[in-house]
Amino acid sequence: MEHRFTDPNAMTQAGLNLIQQALSIYDKDLELALCNQRHGEMFNLPKSLTRPGAKFEDTIRYLVESGEYGDVENAEAFIQEKVDIAKAFEPHYVERIRANGQVISIEGAPLPQGGWVTVYTDITQTKKQENLLRLRSEELSDQLLSYSEELAAKNRQLEASIAALEEAKRELTEIESRTRLTSEMIPAHVAHVDRQGRYQYSNRRLSMVLPERPNDIIGRHISEVLGAPTYNQISPTLREAFLGTPSVLEFTDDLSARRIRVAFTPDVKETGIEGAYILSMDITEETQARNALQQVAKRELAAQLTSGLAHDFANLLTIILGAQSRLTDRVQDAESLALIEATKTAATRGGSLLNTIGDMTGTRNLNPTPTHIKALLEKLLPLAEAALPKNIILKIHNTVPDEAYFLDSGMLQDALLNLILNAKDACGAGGRIKLSIRPVADIWLDFIVTDSGSGFSAKALKHALDPFYTTKGTDGNGLGLTMVYDTAKLAGGD
C-alpha cells in the first residue's frame, strides 16, 4: 500500500498564510528563515525576497529604493544602520506611518537560538477610531457640568434609599441565618476558601464526609485540615477554580477509602476572583452501584455476542469427537491413545463451556461434588501439557491433603486451563509456569498460577476482568479471565 507523508514545513507555511498580520523570521546570520504571504503583499516584495535565505540587507535596500521609508538622503548609511540594529536585536514595539499613509505597528522579539521574529499589523482603522474618540471626549466634558447638577438630585434620592437598605440588611441577616441552618442539614460539606487556601466559611459536616478531620477549621489552611495525601489530589483542580474555571473532581480518600465527589466554584467578585466554594459529598455507594451496573452491561453484551456462535461451535465439537473416536480404533500405542483421550476430554469440556458462556449475564449454576484435588490435577495435566510447547515447562506444587473437597470440578478445571494458557502466552518463546495449590483455614483452597513472563501493564491490569478486553489482538477473545472471575465469585472466593 502506498503511504503519503505530509510535509510539516508546508503545513506550517499554510497555517501562517491564514494570519492577517505580516510575519517574518530572520536567523542569526540575518537571512530569512520564514515569512507568510501577507508579509510579501504588505511590502510588495518580489519573490526572491520572500524565499528562505534572502538577506535582510537586500530587503532593506529594496524597501528604501521603493520609497517605503520616504526620502532617505544617504541610502547606504540608512541601510547599514538598520543592519547594525538587527545584529544587536532588542525587543521593541513601534508604530510607523508608511509612505502610502497606512499606519502599522511593528513588534519584534529575539529567538533563543539567535535571530528574531517580527509581526507587522495594519492599525490604520484603529488610529482613526482613537482620533474620533478624542473628539468625542471633548464634547462629553461639556456635558459634565449638567450631569453634576443631576448628581446632586440623585444624592437626595440616595439618602432615602439608605433607609430602605437598612431594612433590607435586617432581612438579609435573617436569610443568612436560615441559609446556614439549611447548610448544616444537608448531607454534604459546604465551605469557602480564600485565594490563600484558608477556610472562611464551613458547615459542620466535614468529619461526616471525610472521617478523622476536624470540624473547627475556620482560618486554617486546607492542606492542614485535609492532610497532605488528600490535598495533593485536589490541589490542581482547586488552582483551576482560583483561575476562574469551575470543575468537579472524584477521588478516593486515603484515610477512609471512601469515594468523594468535590465541586469547585470560583468566587467571582467585581474586583476579581476572591476564592472558591467547595461542595464535598460521599458517593461511595453511588460509585459501587454504578460499577455494578457497568459490569452487568458488559456481561449482557458478552452473552449477546456469544450466543449466536454456540450452535456452530457445537457442530465443530461433534466433528472433533467423532474423528477422535475413529482414531481410537486405529491407534494402538499408549502415548497416542493418551493424547486422543485428552482431546476428547477437552472437546467434551468445550460443550459444557457453551452453557457457561451463555450464562454470563444470568445466574450460573454451580454443581459442587466431592472432589479429590490430586485426581483433578491428574486429569488437568495432560490437557495442559498438550496445549503447551516443549520449551515451556509446567510445574504443579500441591500441598492440599488427599481429602475430598466440595467444589465444581468442571468449572475449576476450565478456570485453571484458562490461567495456564494465559501464562503460556505471557511466556512467549519459552519459560516456566507454576500452579500452586494450598489450603486456607481448612475451608478454602488457594490456587496460584505464576509464570516467568513480563507481567501485566497498568492498563491491562485495570481492564483484565472486562469482557472482550484482550492484549493479543485478533488471537484473543477477551473472555478467559472474565470466566475465571465468575467461577471464583460463584464459589464464594475473591
pLDDT at 275: 93
Nearest residue to 266 (alpha-carbon basis) of 239, 305, 290, 231: 239
Q: According to the model, what pLDDT value does residue 1 have?
A: 44
Q: Name the pTM for this structure.
A: 0.35
Looking at residue 3, what is its pLDDT?
47
Q: What does the pLDDT read at residue 368?
A: 87
Per CATH, domain 8-122 is 3.30.450.20: yes
| pLDDT > 70 fraction of the chain, expressed in percent and rounded | 84
Nearby residues of 134 by Cβ (< 8 Å), 6 or more positions away: none
According to the model, what pLDDT value does residue 436 have?
93
Residue range 161-165: mean pLDDT, rounded: 81
Indicate the SS3 state at residue 365.
coil
Query: DSSP letters of 272-293?
Result: EEEEEEEEEEE-HHHHHHHHHH
Split at pLDDT 50, 70, 90, the class of 423 is confident
Identical fold between 186-282 and 369-494: no
| pLDDT tens, residue by residue, 19-67 | 888 999 999 899 998 999 998 888 999 999 999 999 999 999 999 998 8
Alpha carbons 463 and 482: distance in angstroms, whole number: 10
Q: Backbone dihedral region of 492: left (phi > 0), alpha (psi from -120 to 50 degrees) or beta?
A: left
Instruction: Please say whether the beta carbons of 481 and 417 come within 8 A.
Output: no
Structural domain boundaries of the chain?
Answer: 8-122, 186-282, 283-365, 369-494
Q: What is the pLDDT of residue 47?
A: 92
Contact 136, 128 (CB under 8 A): no
Dist. CA 342–CA 249, nearest whole Å: 54
- pLDDT, residue 119, reads 92
Q: 369-494: what CATH class? A: alpha beta
Residue 476 confidence (pLDDT): 57
- Angle, helices 334-358/284-307, rounded to nearest 10 degrees: 120
Give CATH for domain 186-282. Answer: 3.30.450.20
The Cα–Cα gap between 245 and 227 comes to 24
Q: Which three cell numbers stand for residue 84?
A: 547594525
Average pLDDT of the residues of the chain: 82
Please indicate whether residue 398 or residue 347 has the higher confidence score (pLDDT).
398
